Amino acid sequence: MSKLRIEEISAFEVLDSRGNPTVASEVRLSDNSSSIAYVPSGASTGKYEALEIRDEDETRFLGRGVSKAVNLINKEIKELLTGLDPLDQSNIDTILCKADGTDNKSNLGANSILAVSLANLRASAESRNLPLYEHINLIYKDLFEVEEKPTLPIPMMNILNGGVHADNKIDFQEFMIQPSGFNSFKSSLQCGVEIFHQLKEQLKQRKLNTSVGDEGGFAPQLKSAEEALDLILQAIDVSGYKAGSQVFICLDCASSELFDEEKYLLEGVEKSFNSAEMIRYLETLRSKYPISSIEDGLDEEDWDGWKVLTERLGSSTQLVGDDIFATNTNRIKKGIKQNIANSVLVKINQIGTISEVMEAVNLSKENSYKTVVSHRSGETEDTSIADIAIGLCSGQIKAGAPSRTDRVAKYNRMLILEEKFNIPFSS
Ligand code: PGA
Ligand code: ZN
């Protein structure tokens, strides 16, 4: 039998959940297995993320077209990879990174690179006749010589949206709930869904808007984090769950969006904080509410502040680094060395290849940092992050509210996989 090889690579300009163009790529192998991968896109993007290439041609899609990225796949990337062994994912990704040649993927674009890296991963799973998570898990175990069985992650569900994800005044971007102590993904998701619906009732009773933001959570016209937290606590209570034991609240402050080089500007509550004051504010919230996790409590450049925040809250609270780490092993290493944060947010398009995502997860785990696989605020029907979270045993996933198909598709994928393959649940 002839050796399996990449036969055809093509790309398409499609749309994400915000109606912005994004890249999709199809990889077809010599045994005719094929798969399409779609690339997500952020709104609160960090400075240190790999770059997505956009056309910047104002005559198309307000400058947001991705035809350049699509052409790069159809020409350069196709030429580079056609004929190669798709099962050697690490080789495929190394070639993509080398051909790009920059630290932030600005030549070929993280959107072109990720589309192909992920489509190759998916097509290879097809060829091996394995569920995607199983294929990912086998690569991961082989690469890092670890013995980790696929595990379903605990969901963190963003039920109330603020910041740049919503047209309201709430400063913090995400108010999430995380069920705790449940014995299956299914039952933990059910808990989150019931609270989501009760939150809608609470909003209606107060004549507040129940339309949703970019990640499917409600986006009422509130001002402060406290108002949002009180409403969520109320929703948990009427749902019959116990906040602080069965359900915890997780925040993504997305503080890089609030920082103006000197101060954290919290316009909703008309306050401006220096780093020490922002830390104190977070400590106060932490002491008043059952908050188990705070993401990007401080700006991506505020390393000194992060150090203090970790000293103060790190032993009791999960402190997740998103913009500060950018799924980049060099930045995660720096954080580990300086004792900054205790958890890493893993966004596949922040770094650009699946192999680099695996390296980031492995590095974090080796240093006892928790990992949270994450969607972007601009998503698609692609559910690969569900399989990535399971295959890499990330322990946690954030994929938005149980609302809007771009979010629910990931939860549905995990519900089906749990039942079909009896995968154990992280607890
Ligand atoms: P983004 O938001 O996709 O807009 O960056 C998600 C996050 O900050 O975690
Ligand atoms: Zn974030």
Q: 356-388 burial, b if ≥16 CB within 10 A, otherwise e?
A: bbbbbbbbbbeeebbbbbbbbbbbbebbbbbbb
414 has a pLDDT exceeding 90: yes
- Mean pLDDT score, 49-58: 98
Ligand showing the shortest atom-to-Cα distance for residue 398: 1
C-alpha span between 271 and 187 (Å, rounded): 40
Per-residue pLDDT, averaged over 24-46, amounts to 98
Q: How far apart are CA 144 and CA 79, in angstroms?
A: 30
- pLDDT (tens digit, 9 = 90+) per residue, 292-332? 999 999 999 999 999 999 999 999 999 999 999 999 999 99
Tens digit of pLDDT for each residue in 190-204? 999 999 999 999 999
Looking at residue 232, its pLDDT comes to 98
Is it the case that residue 1 has pLDDT exceeding 80?
no
State whether the beta carbon of 44 lies less than 6 angstroms from ligand 1. Answer: yes
Q: Is 347 labeled as catalytic in the residue annotation?
A: yes
Q: What is the largest distance, in Å, between two alpha-carbon atoms of the chain?
A: 69
**In 162-274, which ranges are continuous DSSP H helix?**
185-205, 225-238
Question: With 0-12 CB in 10 A as exposed, 13-18 as middle and 19+ as buried, what is 222?
Answer: buried
Whose CA is closest to 292, among 175, 414, 191?
175
CB of residue 377 inside a 6 A radius of ligand 1:
yes
Give residue 195 CA to ligand 1 midpoint distance, Å.
22
Element (H, E) at 174: strand 174-179
Query: For position 398, what pLDDT does the model report?
Result: 98
Residue 164 CA, closest ligand 1 atom number: 4
pLDDT at 86: 98
Q: Does residue 210 have a pLDDT over 90?
A: yes
Which ligand 1 atom lies nearest to the CA of residue 45? Answer: 5
148 is annotated as an active-site residue: no
Residue among 44, 375, 385 whose CB has most ligand 1 atoms within 8 A, to mutate: 44
pLDDT above 70 (res 211):
yes
Mean pLDDT confidence for 346-353: 98
Q: Give me the mean pLDDT over the 370-387 stretch.
A: 98
The alpha carbon of 425 and the centre of ligand 1 are apart by a number of angstroms equal to 25
Could you say which of 78, 347, 370, 410 is catalytic? 347
Nearest in space to 397 (alpha carbons), one of 125, 153, 106, 195: 153
How many other C-beta atoms lie within 10 A of the C-beta of residue 121?
28
Compute the distance between CA of residue 423 and CA of residue 417 in angstroms, rounded to an integer: 7
Distance 47 CA to ligand 2 centre (A): 13
Residue 2 clears pLDDT 80, i.e. is over it: no
For residue 92, pLDDT beyond 80: yes
Question: Which ligand 1 atom lies nearest to the CA of residue 377?
Answer: 3
Ligand at minimal distance from the CA of 376 is: 1
Atom of ligand 1 minimally distant from the CA of 378: 3
User: HSE-up of 199 (CA within 13 Å, CB side)?
Assistant: 35
* Model confidence band, residue 261 (pLDDT cutoffs 50, 70, 90): confident
From the CA of 46, give the closest atom in ligand 1.
5
> Buried b / exposed e across 274-308, counting CB within 10 Å, b at 16+?
ebeebbebbeebbeebbbbbbbbbbbbebeebbbe
Average pLDDT in the 2-25 region? 97
Structure tokens that stand for 164 in this block:
């740049």
- Cβ burial, residue 145 (10 Å; 0-12/13-18/19+): exposed
Distance 291 CA to ligand 2 centre (A): 16
Q: Report the atom number in ligand 1 closest to the C-alpha of 374.
A: 9
Return the percentage of the chain with pLDDT > 90, whole number: 98
The confidence score (pLDDT) of residue 207 equals 97
User: Which residues share a beta bridge with 6?
Assistant: 29
Q: Which helix (H) or strand (E) holds 370?
A: strand 370-374
3-state secondary structure of 116: helix
Pocket test for ligand 1, best of 347, 348, 373, 379 (most atoms within 8 A of CB): 347
85 has a pLDDT exceeding 90:
yes
Ligand 1 site, residue 374, Cβ cutoff 6 A: yes
**What is the DSSP-derived secondary structure letter of residue 73?**
I
What pLDDT shows up at residue 180?
98
Rounded CA-CA distance 40/398 in Å is: 14
CA-wise closest residue to 334 among 306, 296, 295: 306
Q: 273 by DSSP, 3-state: which?
A: strand
CA 255 to chain CA centroid, Å, is: 16
**How far is ligand 1, taken at its centre, from the CA of residue 411, in Å?**
18
For helices 354-366 and 132-144, the axis angle rounded to 10 degrees is 60
Set 52, 126, 215, 356: catalytic member: 215
Is the CB of residue 379 below 6 angstroms from any atom belonging to ligand 1?
no
For residue range 122-168, what is the model confidence (pLDDT) as tens digits? 999 999 999 999 999 999 999 999 999 999 999 999 999 999 999 99
Place of tokens 């001002």: 223
DSSP 48: T
- Beta carbon of 364 within 6 Å of any ligand 1 atom: no
45 lines ligand 1 (CB under 6 A): yes
Instruction: Say if residues 354 and 37 touch (Cβ distance below 8 Å).
Output: no
Q: Which residue has the tokens 């149980």?
A: 402
Structure tokens at 404: 């809007």
C-beta of residue 255 within 8 angstroms of C-beta of residue 218: no
User: Mutation test of ligand 1: which of 294, 376, 379, 398 has the most ligand atoms closer than 8 Å to its C-beta?
Assistant: 376
